[in-house]
């Protein structure tokens, strides 16, 4: 299977901060990388697909970049509703896999 | 707006079979892949498998021997069966729609907690 490793596992930040989360694949996955946001007790919500495409309805402060094995999710100016857990997911392989998650907490 | 809703028993005994159904509303189930994903409490997401509306399936190799998925297009439903469950199968189970080319999950059910306990 393709292993996905996110860093950091947790992150403390303040409203208005710029935040970057990294996801690394154990092999090249081209641009088959997606990002999700999950709040407690809720299903994950798709933010970014194909590494850099913004899902409809998602605020433009979210952006994604990367290809091959290294990817980033950036939130340009944190809002109170952005504090959540973020997951990357590779869809290069039929057996898709997720990163372990990055918990974004309020400083 | 497409909506997905999981249903099934919330408690299953060890060694028995977990059975869940996902009902799709607000759109047709046809011409899409549909997936099951689970999440143990406080842990990450694990893909269980997917089914196309033709009935073609792909399963997580680590679960393949215990998983069966089926689809009923007349009811706009698809289902999951996981046999020989243990406490390790206790999790919130989500159903989700797969976007064909990108392979991401654009619509999700709210999730249903299944506890394996005697």
Give which of A43, A54, A64, A88 to mutate to test B binding, by max B Cβ within 10 Å: A43
- The predicted pLDDT at position B92 comes to 98
Report in angstroms the alpha-carbon separations of B35 from A22, B24, B68, B88: 26, 12, 12, 20
Average pLDDT over residues A10-20: 96
Share of residues in chain B with pLDDT > 70 (%): 100
Residue A107 has pLDDT above 90, yes or no: no
Distance CA B110, CA B89 (A): 18
Could you read off the pLDDT of A24-83 as tens digits, one per residue? 999 999 999 999 999 999 999 999 999 999 999 999 999 999 999 999 999 999 999 999
Helix (H) or strand (E) holding A71: strand A70-75
Instruction: Please give the average per-residue pLDDT across A72-98, as a whole number.
Output: 96
Greatest extent of chain B over all pairs of C-alpha atoms, in Å:
42
B75: left (phi over 0), alpha (psi -120 to 50) or beta: alpha
Chain A residue numbers touching B50 (CB-CB < 8 A): 94
DSSP B10: S
- DSSP letter for A3, please: -
Considering only CA atoms, which of B32, B65, B67, B66 is closest in space to residue B49?
B67
**Predicted local confidence at residue B102, as pLDDT:** 85
List the single residue in A46, A50, A99 with the smallest CB-CB distance to B106. Answer: A46
The distance of B111 to chain A (nearest Cα, Å) reads 7
Q: Does B40 touch chain A (CB under 8 A)?
A: no
pLDDT of amino acid B100: 84
Q: What is the DSSP string of A32-90?
A: -EEEEEE-TTS--EEEEETTTEEPTT--TTEEEEEETTEEEEEESS--GGG-SEEEEEE
Give B101's pLDDT tier (boundaries 50, 70, 90).
confident
Residue B12 confidence (pLDDT): 98
The B residues from 55 to 84 touching A (CB cutoff 8 Å) are 58, 60-61
Query: A86: which chain B residues are within 8 Å (Cβ-Cβ)?
Result: none
Give tens-digit pLDDT for B21-61: 999 999 999 989 999 999 999 999 999 999 999 999 999 99
Residue B96, classed as helix, strand or coil, is: strand
């Amino acid at each position: 299977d393709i292993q996905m490793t996110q860093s950091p596992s947790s992150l403390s930040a303040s409203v208005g901060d710029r935040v970057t989360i990294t996801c690394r694949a154990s092999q090249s996955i081209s641009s088959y990388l997606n990002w999700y946001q999950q709040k407690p007790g809720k299903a994950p919500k798709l933010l970014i697909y194909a590494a850099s495409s913004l899902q409809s309805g998602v605020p433009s402060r979210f952006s994604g970049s990367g290809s091959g094995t290294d990817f980033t999710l950036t939130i340009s100016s944190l809002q109170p509703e952005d504090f959540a857990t973020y997951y990357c997911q590779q869809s290069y392989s039929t057996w898709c896999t997720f990163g372990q998650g990055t918990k974004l907490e309020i400083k | 707006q497409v909506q997905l809703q999981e249903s099934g028993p919330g408690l299953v005994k060890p060694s028995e079979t977990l059975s869940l159904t996902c009902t799709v509303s607000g759109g047709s189930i046809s011409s899409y892949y549909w997936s099951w994903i689970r999440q143990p409490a406080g842990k990450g997401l694990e893909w269980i498998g997917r089914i196309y509306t033709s009935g073609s399936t792909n399963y997580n190799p680590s679960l393949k021997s215990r998983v069966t998925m089926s689809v009923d297009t007349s009811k706009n439903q698809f289902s999951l069966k996981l046999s020989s469950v243990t406490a390790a199968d206790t999790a919130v189970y989500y159903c989700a729609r797969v976007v064909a080319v990108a392979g991401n999950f654009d619509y999700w059910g709210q999730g249903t907690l299944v506890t394996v306990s005697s």
